[in-house]
Amino acid sequence: MTFFPGAVLGLESSCDETSAALFESGRVVTNVVSSQAALHEKWGGVVPEAAARAHVEAIVPVLQEALQGRRPDAVAVTNRPGLVGALSVGVSAAKALAMLWELPLIAVHHIEGHILSVLAEAPDVAFPHLCLVVSGGHTEIVEVLEPGRYRLLGQTVDDAAGEAFDKGARLFGLGYPGGKAIQDAAAQGNPARYRLPRATTSDPLDLSFSGLKTAVLRLVEKEGPALSVPDAAASLQAAIVDALAQRVLHALDRHPYAGLSLVGGVAANQALRTRLAKEAERRGLPFWVPSPGLCTDNAAMVAVAGSVRLARGERSGFDFDCEAASPLPGQIT
Ligand code: KG4
Ligand code: ZN
């Protein structure tokens, strides 16, 4: 992979993590993440206004820690999609630094950051490969022809996989964010204890998690205090992992790929990592998944994606905006 020759500062503030990172010579030098999870826990989800204010408080200390007194050679920042007030904090900081230090600046799409996060640890990733993107807001099956050229093969028709974890965790009284809490509770549980649905969709590569959410609500109401939280967590995790794995296998059967990648916050889930690793191995395919710290939101992935685009000579002016919703760039049909 050709990266930008020099240190790229990455900035990420699209949701509830304030993050800054340095990526240089194909290596993550620093990746500082300040999470607002404790702030939003009392509301059971991210409150946009509170998130933006918390980014304002965190951005300078996070930048200082990531830069370690160094001046980078370029700046990459997430500008879409996400909470506009939250995004604006990282984008303002990035524009100010790029202007002051006269550095090349590049705006990065958050999901492209997740897709290219595998390059931080595996620069020799092969193309075209199949990528499962699973986060709090997105669940997509993407054919990655090369960095910057993507084909969307399937996506959720309702909730994202991360939302299914988070909503289940809330119903089980496990707090926010729920993915890691479900994983930890599930470690002691029996995944066959409660029967939960694996929804079918009219397009075999799409996904749907709203029926699962309803089924979990019914289960909690029916069992009341008799509910075994570890068994319920294990059953929910198994339902989500099964649904995701089924679509991935279907896509792998339809077309020969150079490998399989798993990215986004839910890619930190151990059961999902193990399951897809096994399936890829069974097919003799390489499997790439970032370390958990590079799966959940972080600025290293933004610096990596920015570095790839900067290396191709791409630059953003100072006039780009923040966008709440935005399609993945470079999509072909
Ligand atoms: O990519 P991400 O950090 O933020 C978004 O772009 O949305 O993903 C956050 C999501 C949350 O729903 C969180 O519960 C989930 O990733 N998550 C996990 C795990 N760690 C984070 N889900 C399952 N297992 C985990 N270990
Ligand atoms: Zn994300």
* pLDDT tens string 5-42: 999 999 999 999 999 999 999 999 999 999 998 999 88
Percentage of the chain modeled with pLDDT above 90: 96
Cβ of 296 closer than 6 Å to ligand 1, yes or no, is yes
Given the CA of residue 178, which atom of ligand 1 is nearest to it? 14
The alpha carbon of 297 and the centre of ligand 1 are apart by a number of angstroms equal to 8
Residue 212 pLDDT > 90: yes
**Confidence class for position 182, pLDDT limits 50, 70, 90:** very high
**Confidence class for position 110, pLDDT limits 50, 70, 90:** very high
The alpha carbon of 227 and the centre of ligand 2 are apart by a number of angstroms equal to 32
Which ligand does the CA of 108 lie closest to? 2
Helices (H), the chain: 37-41, 48-67, 84-101, 110-116, 161-171, 178-186, 210-223, 229-254, 270-282, 292-295, 300-311
Given the CA of residue 138, which atom of ligand 1 is nearest to it? 7
Query: What are the tokens at 200?
Result: 């079918």
| Atom 7 of ligand 1: nearest residue by CA position | 136
The mean per-residue pLDDT over the stretch 168-185 comes to: 95
Cβ of 266 closer than 6 Å to ligand 1, yes or no, is yes
Cβ of 189 closer than 6 Å to ligand 1, yes or no, is no
CA neighbor of 70 nearest in space, from 39, 105, 103 = 103
One-letter amino acid of 177:
P
Cβ of 180 closer than 6 Å to ligand 1, yes or no, is yes
Given the CA of residue 264, which atom of ligand 1 is nearest to it? 1
Which ligand does the CA of 136 lie closest to? 1
pLDDT on residue 176: 85
Contacts within 8 Å (CB) and 24+ apart, 36-43? 37/176, 37/177, 40/16, 40/176, 41/175, 41/176
pTM, rounded to two decimals: 0.97
CA neighbor of 156 nearest in space, from 172, 180, 140 = 140
Q: pLDDT of 216-265, one tens digit each? A: 999 999 999 999 999 999 999 999 999 999 999 999 999 999 999 999 99
pLDDT on residue 175: 87
